[in-house]
């Protein structure tokens, strides 16, 4: 819809559509962090019966639950970027942000965090990518692109 609004030369509408999508996406996610943070085993038992696997999965859900709203922002703005045809910044944010996961995980593992280092690395890079997408969105260059 943001791309359609830009095509109609309505950047104000494109901004409003993007913000509305963000609000709706975050609103739809409200129950998930509660489940993930406070009752991860209720979710995990559907997928894992091995106690070690269940505990690792529950740990991941607790950590991911902390950054779920940042993940929502990342995914929605990435799709806004695709919709308006501003894909290079989105690709750059996603690739660089994802590449950071390996050194972050290694660094955290050396601090003795164990396998949770991977989950914390993913969580940290989700927040970094969400912040980068927010900067991209607020810079507003995407809304003033000349459409072919």
Residue 4 pLDDT exceeds 90: no
Asked whether residue 65 carries a pLDDT value surpassing 50, the answer given is yes
What value does the mean pLDDT of the chain take?
Answer: 89
Which is more confidently placed, 20 or 5?
Answer: 20
| Predicted TM-score (pTM) of this structure | 0.85
Helix (H) or strand (E) holding 40: helix 40-44
Report, as an integer, the average pLDDT of 91-116.
93
Q: Which two tokens stand for residue 116?
A: 């949770």
The separation between CA 107 and the C-alpha centre of its own chain, rounded to angstroms, equals 22
Using an 8 Å Cβ cutoff, are 75 and 29 in contact? no
Instruction: Provide the sign of the torsion angle of the four alpha carbons 25, 131, 101, 67, taken in this order.
Output: negative
């Amino acid at each position: 819809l943001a791309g359609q609004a830009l095509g109609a030369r309505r950047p104000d509408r494109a901004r409003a559509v993007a913000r509305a999508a963000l609000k709706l996406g975050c609103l739809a996610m409200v129950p998930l962090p509660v489940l993930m943070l406070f009752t991860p085993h209720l979710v995990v038992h559907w997928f894992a019966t091995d106690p070690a696997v269940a505990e690792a999965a529950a740990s991941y859900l607790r950590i991911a639950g902390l950054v779920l709203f940042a993940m929502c922002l990342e995914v929605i703005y990435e799709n806004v970027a695709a919709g308006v045809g501003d894909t290079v910044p989105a690709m750059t944010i996603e690739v660089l942000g994802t590449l950071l996961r390996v050194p972050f995980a290694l660094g955290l593992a050396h601090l003795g965090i164990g396998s949770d280092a991977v989950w914390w690395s993913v969580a940290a890079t989700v927040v970094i990518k969400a912040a980068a997408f927010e900067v991209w969105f607020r810079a507003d260059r995407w809304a003033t692109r000349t459409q072919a």
